[in-house]
Amino acid sequence: MAASRGRRITTTIAALAAIGLTAGLTTGCDAVNKALDCVQTADTIADSVTDLQQAVENASNDPTQLDESLASIDKNLDKIGDKTDNADVNKAVDDLNKAVSNVRTAIKNGDNTPDVSPVTDAAGELTKVCTS
Protein backbone atom coordinates (compact mmCIF):
# COMPACT_ATOMS: atom_id res chain seq x y z
CA MET A 1 0.00 0.00 0.00
CA ALA A 2 2.92 2.37 0.73
CA ALA A 3 4.26 1.84 -2.78
CA SER A 4 0.86 2.76 -4.19
CA ARG A 5 0.75 5.96 -2.14
CA GLY A 6 4.33 6.78 -3.20
CA ARG A 7 3.44 6.36 -6.87
CA ARG A 8 0.37 8.54 -6.41
CA ILE A 9 2.45 11.26 -4.74
CA THR A 10 5.05 11.08 -7.53
CA THR A 11 2.28 11.29 -10.13
CA THR A 12 0.73 14.22 -8.29
CA ILE A 13 4.05 16.08 -8.14
CA ALA A 14 4.64 15.51 -11.85
CA ALA A 15 1.12 16.69 -12.63
CA LEU A 16 1.58 19.77 -10.46
CA ALA A 17 4.80 20.61 -12.28
CA ALA A 18 3.16 20.17 -15.69
CA ILE A 19 0.14 22.22 -14.70
CA GLY A 20 2.36 24.91 -13.22
CA LEU A 21 4.47 25.18 -16.36
CA THR A 22 1.57 25.09 -18.78
CA ALA A 23 -0.69 27.36 -16.81
CA GLY A 24 2.12 29.75 -16.04
CA LEU A 25 2.75 30.20 -19.74
CA THR A 26 -0.87 30.62 -20.78
CA THR A 27 -2.83 32.03 -17.83
CA GLY A 28 -2.55 34.05 -14.65
CA CYS A 29 -1.70 32.89 -11.17
CA ASP A 30 -5.36 32.45 -10.23
CA ALA A 31 -5.80 29.64 -12.76
CA VAL A 32 -2.61 27.97 -11.54
CA ASN A 33 -3.84 28.13 -7.95
CA LYS A 34 -7.21 26.63 -8.93
CA ALA A 35 -5.48 23.79 -10.79
CA LEU A 36 -3.16 23.13 -7.85
CA ASP A 37 -6.10 23.16 -5.44
CA CYS A 38 -7.91 20.64 -7.64
CA VAL A 39 -4.92 18.29 -7.79
CA GLN A 40 -4.17 18.58 -4.08
CA THR A 41 -7.79 18.02 -3.09
CA ALA A 42 -8.11 15.11 -5.55
CA ASP A 43 -5.05 13.55 -3.92
CA THR A 44 -6.61 14.03 -0.49
CA ILE A 45 -9.80 12.39 -1.76
CA ALA A 46 -7.73 9.48 -3.09
CA ASP A 47 -6.35 9.03 0.43
CA SER A 48 -9.90 9.18 1.83
CA VAL A 49 -11.01 6.52 -0.67
CA THR A 50 -8.15 4.31 0.50
CA ASP A 51 -9.34 4.88 4.08
CA LEU A 52 -12.90 4.00 2.97
CA GLN A 53 -11.70 0.73 1.44
CA GLN A 54 -9.93 -0.14 4.69
CA ALA A 55 -13.00 0.86 6.70
CA VAL A 56 -15.15 -1.53 4.66
CA GLU A 57 -12.62 -4.31 5.27
CA ASN A 58 -12.70 -3.55 9.02
CA ALA A 59 -16.42 -2.73 9.28
CA SER A 60 -17.11 -5.51 11.74
CA ASN A 61 -14.49 -4.07 14.12
CA ASP A 62 -15.41 -0.37 13.84
CA PRO A 63 -18.43 0.62 11.74
CA THR A 64 -17.88 4.33 12.54
CA GLN A 65 -14.85 4.34 10.20
CA LEU A 66 -17.22 4.09 7.23
CA ASP A 67 -19.04 7.29 8.20
CA GLU A 68 -15.79 9.10 8.95
CA SER A 69 -14.31 8.16 5.56
CA LEU A 70 -17.45 9.20 3.69
CA ALA A 71 -17.58 12.50 5.60
CA SER A 72 -13.96 13.20 4.68
CA ILE A 73 -14.70 12.61 0.99
CA ASP A 74 -17.77 14.88 1.18
CA LYS A 75 -15.78 17.68 2.81
CA ASN A 76 -13.09 17.55 0.15
CA LEU A 77 -15.62 17.39 -2.69
CA ASP A 78 -17.14 20.60 -1.36
CA LYS A 79 -13.70 22.22 -1.54
CA ILE A 80 -13.24 21.30 -5.19
CA GLY A 81 -16.78 22.26 -6.17
CA ASP A 82 -16.37 25.69 -4.59
CA LYS A 83 -13.10 26.42 -6.38
CA THR A 84 -13.73 25.45 -9.97
CA ASP A 85 -15.92 26.37 -12.88
CA ASN A 86 -14.52 23.58 -15.06
CA ALA A 87 -17.38 21.46 -16.45
CA ASP A 88 -15.32 18.24 -16.49
CA VAL A 89 -14.24 18.70 -12.87
CA ASN A 90 -17.81 19.50 -11.82
CA LYS A 91 -19.10 16.35 -13.58
CA ALA A 92 -16.42 14.23 -11.87
CA VAL A 93 -17.37 15.78 -8.52
CA ASP A 94 -21.07 15.04 -9.18
CA ASP A 95 -20.27 11.43 -10.12
CA LEU A 96 -18.22 10.96 -6.97
CA ASN A 97 -20.98 12.55 -4.86
CA LYS A 98 -23.47 10.10 -6.37
CA ALA A 99 -21.18 7.12 -5.69
CA VAL A 100 -20.71 8.23 -2.06
CA SER A 101 -24.46 8.68 -1.70
CA ASN A 102 -25.03 5.14 -3.00
CA VAL A 103 -22.59 3.76 -0.41
CA ARG A 104 -24.39 5.71 2.34
CA THR A 105 -27.72 4.28 1.17
CA ALA A 106 -26.30 0.75 1.16
CA ILE A 107 -25.02 1.22 4.73
CA LYS A 108 -28.38 2.65 5.83
CA ASN A 109 -30.05 -0.43 4.35
CA GLY A 110 -27.88 -2.68 6.52
CA ASP A 111 -24.96 -3.47 4.19
CA ASN A 112 -21.87 -3.25 6.41
CA THR A 113 -19.56 -4.10 3.51
CA PRO A 114 -20.88 -2.07 0.58
CA ASP A 115 -19.27 -2.13 -2.85
CA VAL A 116 -17.01 0.93 -2.94
CA SER A 117 -15.61 0.28 -6.42
CA PRO A 118 -17.85 3.01 -7.94
CA VAL A 119 -16.35 5.47 -5.42
CA THR A 120 -12.85 4.32 -6.34
CA ASP A 121 -13.61 4.65 -10.05
CA ALA A 122 -15.13 8.12 -9.65
CA ALA A 123 -12.20 9.29 -7.53
CA GLY A 124 -9.81 8.05 -10.22
CA GLU A 125 -11.75 9.99 -12.84
CA LEU A 126 -11.61 13.13 -10.70
CA THR A 127 -7.85 12.78 -10.33
CA LYS A 128 -7.53 12.29 -14.08
CA VAL A 129 -9.63 15.38 -14.83
CA CYS A 130 -7.68 17.50 -12.35
CA THR A 131 -4.35 16.48 -13.82
CA SER A 132 -5.23 16.82 -17.49
**pLDDT tens sequence across 41-97:** 777 888 888 888 888 888 777 777 888 888 888 888 877 766 677 788 888 889 989
DSSP secondary-structure letter at 1? Answer: -
pLDDT at residue 65, as a whole number: 82
Residues 6+ apart with CB under 8 A from 90: 81, 84
For 31, the 3-state DSSP assignment is helix
Q: What amino acid occupies position 22?
A: T
What is the average per-residue pLDDT within 1-29?
A: 50
pLDDT at residue 32, as a whole number: 66
The pLDDT-based confidence of 109 (bands split at 50, 70, 90) is very high
